[in-house]
Amino acid sequence: MRITTIGATATAVAVLASPITSTPAPASAVPAASVVSKPAKAASVHGEARISYIESIHDDIRFTIHAEQTPFTRPMPPTAPEGLPTDARGTLKFSHSRGEVTGWAEATVDCLVTSGRTATLTAVVTKSNVEEPGARLGISVQQGGKGEPDRLGFSWGVVNVDPENIDENGQLVRPQAGSCMAPAPFTTVIKGGYKVIHAEITKSPTQPEPTPHHS
């Protein structure tokens, strides 16, 4: 996978989202088993936006993200037979247009982690005219607050460079992003936006509970 700095050439136009209750009955008349609790909140990010990227300031670059954390749904035997607490599902789409040339890709989300108004996710390419199927892409999103714009980062272009990793022609080869690995959101959203819902990651079911210490 050769590294492509966004905006370098026309052929490198590759940049490539209260529980409902009825009137309660007297406590003595409601069996414990009948009490319905609210499902745990899931971390997610949804939205579509056009960004401004300093290396391609006049280009039309857009990202559509629909991702939701689904803990322990992607088994990875033998190390993580139940999967990971950051397992996720969803879709990532991007397009980068310069004049009559457009690079685009569609990818399946495999990992998501959040913190406050920030989310980091990765997705594996399924279709593209600029990326190889199977390539993992890293995306970060920051939902703006107090009048600030949303922001977005991506794991190619000016980041994720290994100086020792070159091809037979002496060109830098971009390393693949690991799960949930992405840079800080270094671009600015100029149209549209994203909604980030934060949730703490879930404890692995195979990890033992900590043993209390007594003084």
Q: What is the pTM of this model?
A: 0.76
Mind listing the pLDDT tens digit for each residue in 121-153?
Answer: 999 999 999 999 999 999 999 999 988 999 999
- Does 147 or 190 have the greater pLDDT score? 190
Mind listing the pLDDT tens digit for each residue in 178-187?
Answer: 899 999 999 9
Mean pLDDT in residue range 15-20: 39
Band of the pLDDT at 40, cuts 50, 70, 90?
Answer: low
Band of the pLDDT at 31, cuts 50, 70, 90?
Answer: very low
Which amino acid makes up residue 66?
A: H
- Beta-carbon neighbour count of residue 100 at 10 Å? 6
Are the C-beta atoms of residues 93 and 103 closer than 8 Å to each other? no
Q: In the predicted model, what is the mean pLDDT of the chain?
A: 83
Q: Which helix (H) or strand (E) holds 46?
A: strand 44-52
| Residue listed under structure tokens 């002496």 | 170
pLDDT of residue 207: 60
pLDDT of residue 5: 42
Closest CA to 158 of 56, 28, 17, 69: 56
Which of 94-103, 132-141, 200-209 has the weakest average pLDDT? 200-209
pLDDT at 21 over 80: no
pLDDT at 188 over 90: yes
Mean pLDDT in residue range 13-41: 46
Pull the structure tokens for residue 48: 């579509």
Band of the pLDDT at 213, cuts 50, 70, 90?
Answer: low
